[in-house]
Amino acid sequence: MTDFFAPCPRGLEKILESDLDAMGAKDVKATEGGVAFSGDWTLCYRANLESRIASRILWRVKETTFRAEQDIYKAVHELSWHRWFDVSSTIKVSTTAIRCELKSVDFVTLLVKDAVCDRFREHCGERPSVDTFAPDMRINVFIEEDRLMLYLDTSGEALFKRGIRLHTNIAPIRENLAAGILRIAGWKPGIPLLDPMCGSGTFLIEAAQIALNIMPGISRRFAFEKLLNFNQSLWQKLKDGAIAAQLPVQALDIYGSDLYGDAMKTASRNLQETGLLDCVSLKQANILEISAPRDSGIMVANLPYGERMGELEELEELYPRLGDALKKKFSGWTAYLFTADKAILKMMRLSPSKRTPLFNGAIECRLLEYRIVSGSNRPSK
């Protein structure tokens, strides 16, 4: 059994916990910002390949307590790094410290890097090079009070980078946050789905991939492929199985629209490049003017907050009218609107039936649920 930790956007820990549990993980425990679990390497490969919610899968190589900085050097130096990866792999060390009295986090990062390099030099006369941009091996140091945890990142690039999407608009939502929102919304393949502010199409691509059983990691590489214990045939078997389980590309009940033509072009290019253009119906339209494509369904949107020139004034016009427009044209639907901006909520003139706190990085956001019925949605006084 190996110990792992999967960080994820705050607010999605419970969903990730149940996913890992379903994959057969042991000792699964959600904490703030992620889920600890244990399992074998098949599970690690599967979690990397299949998890839509995790940001990374970290292998915990050491957990200990320390008093002084030199204890950290010693704990790192003791480990057999050369048994885990080759000296030709480039490395990057990152440190996160909370509630601790260390003077400098950067100094800890240097200390850990030195300890790893010294250990390699003693073993084989050479040391790995540092590459802070695209390292082969990421070493994560996590310090909480006097506890030190060391992780080797088995994912490499963050898992929300699915390996295909190349084009973004101004404010794309992270793929794992979008996938989490679809889960909170209770969307399942077959339920009509509309993103009326689709931007670069993140919700549409996530939903189409879910419907066609396309694993989020099927088109990308992972850091575990560079670990010395990498089991190529096991990995190939998992990938072959995942590809065999994909459904053929087909028209789905998934709809996307956006006010701006350039956003539609970006969404269309991204869907084209992921091979999913035929799955989704796209249309350039103002959210105030669109009609519901079906009698009932789920609407998801990552609300604009005025990134474009002159957009702020437009939004001050848009939000007070949005509630009425939804009530007129979308009764029977449930809308899940995602925003970090409390001012938007005030402008909306529609009371949410549920508010779920979710974090976009460090930014606290809300996912607002509106069960749309024609007429008033204000709570009775």
Compute the least distance from the CB of residue 211 to ligand SAM, in Å.
18
How many chain residues are in contact with ligand SAM, going by CB under 6 A? 18
Selected binder of ligand SAM within 30, 254, 259, 372 (CB under 6 A): 259
Under rule CB under 6 A, residue 260 binds ligand SAM: yes
Selected binder of ligand SAM within 51, 89, 95, 302 (CB under 6 A): 302
Under rule CB under 6 A, residue 318 binds ligand SAM: yes
Compute the least distance from the CB of residue 360 to ligand SAM, in Å.
11
Under rule CB under 6 A, residue 207 binds ligand SAM: no
Under rule CB under 6 A, residue 173 binds ligand SAM: yes
Q: How far apart are CA 166 and CA 30, in angstroms?
A: 32
Contact string (CB under 6 A) for ligand SAM, positions 263-282, x = contact: x-------------------
Q: Report the residue number, 68 or 362, with the smaller CB distance to ligand SAM.
A: 362
Q: Report the residue number, 87 or 340, with the smaller CB distance to ligand SAM.
A: 340
Contacts (CB under 6 A) with ligand SAM, residues 151-170: 169
Which of 349, 321, 334 shows the shortest CA–CA distance to 295? 334
Under rule CB under 6 A, residue 200 binds ligand SAM: yes
Q: Report the residue number, 39 or 196, with the smaller CB distance to ligand SAM.
A: 196
Under rule CB under 6 A, residue 196 binds ligand SAM: yes
Do the beta carbons of residue 3 and residue 60 sit within 8 Å?
yes
A 10 A CB-CB count for 78 gives 12
Under rule CB under 6 A, residue 356 binds ligand SAM: no
Under rule CB under 6 A, residue 172 binds ligand SAM: yes
Under rule CB under 6 A, residue 204 binds ligand SAM: no
Quote the radius of gyration of the chain (alpha carbons, Å).
Answer: 23
Under rule CB under 6 A, residue 360 binds ligand SAM: no
Q: How far apart are CA 282 and CA 272, in angstroms?
A: 12
Contact string (CB under 6 A) for ligand SAM, positions 100-139, x = contact: ----------------------------------------
Q: How far apart are CA 101 and CA 145, in angstroms?
A: 7
Q: How far apart are CA 197 and CA 213, in angstroms?
A: 24
Residue nearest to ligand SAM (CB): 199
* Interacting residues toward ligand SAM by CB under 6 A: 169, 171-173, 196-197, 199-200, 202, 258-260, 263, 286-287, 302, 304, 318
